[in-house]
Structure 1
């Protein structure tokens, strides 16, 4: 088990190595959308809060007892920077009690793994744009999350220990169609497997591809990885289909490993030679 944990930690290091010092700011800039006048939704009761969380892949709620604190203005500024994330604010005592809030708290809710992460009073007292941006970027996991040195931290901290990686060049023909099928397949394994996109056209992602003993000539490919016991498997593909993804994932969950079969075949061929 110790060996598996050390290998898992090595993979995490491998995926995050080379992280630029100002990566948080860079990712924040890439998340910026066009300027728009947006405000967090006001959540006045428990049903409104529950509906708000259920309707979003990622929902962030500021549970504030006092709207005069500096954290509120920082929180509101995030709405413009992360326009694909749902932001809400509640000062309702009913809502705060329902979510076990005892002080000013910012909570991030993830549909993909039913996760909830909190920035509580001690963190909020010193919160600024950079800290809150990083918290959102690191933990912003969706049905399909694109790999980056920032998102990988959230992936390894997720409640879901099995990750499926689609390694494909985002500029390749048919990419959009493949992604639509991949996203539909992701819904079948919500809460069981995290679906990740790795852009093989990005030079920095070469370490991820080589970890799974794949070559560029074998891409696109699927790689599935279990963080608990370090088990993994790969499947080179010509294109994505929901049935293909489902069969590959179901096989892995049942303990079937295509890689082991390939290795056995290779050994047999070497013996014959």
Structure 2
């Protein structure tokens, strides 16, 4: 079954704009809770830079020809804000040449879809802490990324158009083991599917569950959708296992929907 284009746009709106007030709050909360322990790693040669990027799910590197410009201190503060991101900084000509940097630049390297996102000289000229924080928030996609409004914007900006959502409570006893298995499954679909966690314990996330016609009694559950062809499917699961997640994803990628959504009809889907 195919959702109409308007319904795909509704999903985008639900994911990206449904919790607008929280976007600012997320940034403010992270800024208020800065740790003073983490600093960017100084990268003095190419092998060290390659190693840092290869070892991190998300790495942000500041390539600066001039370490006296204001953005450098702003960049260093980001390392204290984002504890789950690896930060590096370099002004060594060998490193800058290797990455084709000809002016001050900030680059985000993302393992999950092998993407490199660049903020070049013209981008960072008027960059402040709030704008740089938002750039990292939006594009901070890991093997499993927890849903938030800004992350949703990043999901829709990626080249990977198929997204899998696991909806379960983070407070459940099974959460830690379920996430370990879910993360292992995510590695099997690098570049094909982006894996997302939706904490069903948060009331505001009810809009996402409602969109996929999922009730609290059906959770935990998987929901998968593809924005290009407007396809989607759901699967309530009693236990999260690598085998179940892999089978559901492989079936979807092959066009084998688990339920007949066309027979169900779209009339009951909530339009938000």
Looking at structure 1, the residues matched to 35 and 123 of structure 2 have their Cα atoms a distance apart, in angstroms, of: 28
Whether contact under 8 Å (1:32, 1:80) holds in the other structure is: no
Q: May I ask how many residue pairs the two structures share in their alignment?
A: 263
Alignment of 1:126-137 (within 5 A): 126-137=126-137
Looking at structure 2, the residues matched to 104 and 34 of structure 1 have their Cα atoms a distance apart, in angstroms, of: 25
2:149 paired with 1:152? no
Per-residue CA deviation, residues 180-207 of structure 1 (Å, 9 max, x unaligned), is 1111111111111110000111111111
| Equivalence for 2:268 | none
| Equivalence for 1:89 | 89
Looking at structure 1, the residues matched to 34 and 126 of structure 2 have their Cα atoms a distance apart, in angstroms, of: 28
2:265 paired with 1:252? no
2:7 paired with 1:7? yes
| Equivalence for 2:234 | 234
Superposition deviation, residue 123 in structure 1:
1.9
Alignment of 1:124-203 (within 5 A): 124-203=124-203
Superposition deviation, residue 159 in structure 1:
1.8
Looking at structure 2, the residues matched to 224 and 149 of structure 1 have their Cα atoms a distance apart, in angstroms, of: 18
Looking at structure 1, the residues matched to 34 and 128 of structure 2 have their Cα atoms a distance apart, in angstroms, of: 22
| Equivalence for 1:99 | 99
Distance 1:33 1:112, change over 3 A: farther
Looking at structure 2, the residues matched to 218 and 153 of structure 1 have their Cα atoms a distance apart, in angstroms, of: 27
Whether contact under 8 Å (1:5, 1:228) holds in the other structure is: no
Whether contact under 8 Å (2:160, 2:191) holds in the other structure is: yes
Distance 1:47 1:158, change over 3 A: same
Distance 1:46 1:6, change over 3 A: farther
Distance 1:45 1:6, change over 3 A: farther
Distance 1:214 1:191, change over 3 A: same
Whether contact under 8 Å (1:96, 1:102) holds in the other structure is: yes
Per-residue CA deviation, residues 121-175 of structure 1 (Å, 9 max, x unaligned), is 1121111111111111111000000001111000111121111100111122311
TM-score, normalized by length of structure 2? 0.90
| Equivalence for 1:218 | 218
Looking at structure 1, the residues matched to 215 and 135 of structure 2 have their Cα atoms a distance apart, in angstroms, of: 34
Looking at structure 1, the residues matched to 217 and 107 of structure 2 have their Cα atoms a distance apart, in angstroms, of: 43
Distance 1:33 1:111, change over 3 A: farther
Unaligned runs of 5+ in 2: 266-272
Looking at structure 2, the residues matched to 6 and 101 of structure 1 have their Cα atoms a distance apart, in angstroms, of: 41
Moved more, 20-29 or 9-18: 20-29
Per-residue CA deviation, residues 94-130 of structure 1 (Å, 9 max, x unaligned), is 2222222221110111000011111111121111111
Whether contact under 8 Å (2:170, 2:201) holds in the other structure is: yes
Superposition deviation, residue 223 in structure 1:
0.6
Whether contact under 8 Å (1:32, 1:83) holds in the other structure is: no
TM-score, normalized by length of structure 1? 0.90
Whether contact under 8 Å (1:4, 1:229) holds in the other structure is: no
Aligned CA RMSD, in angstroms, stands at 2.0
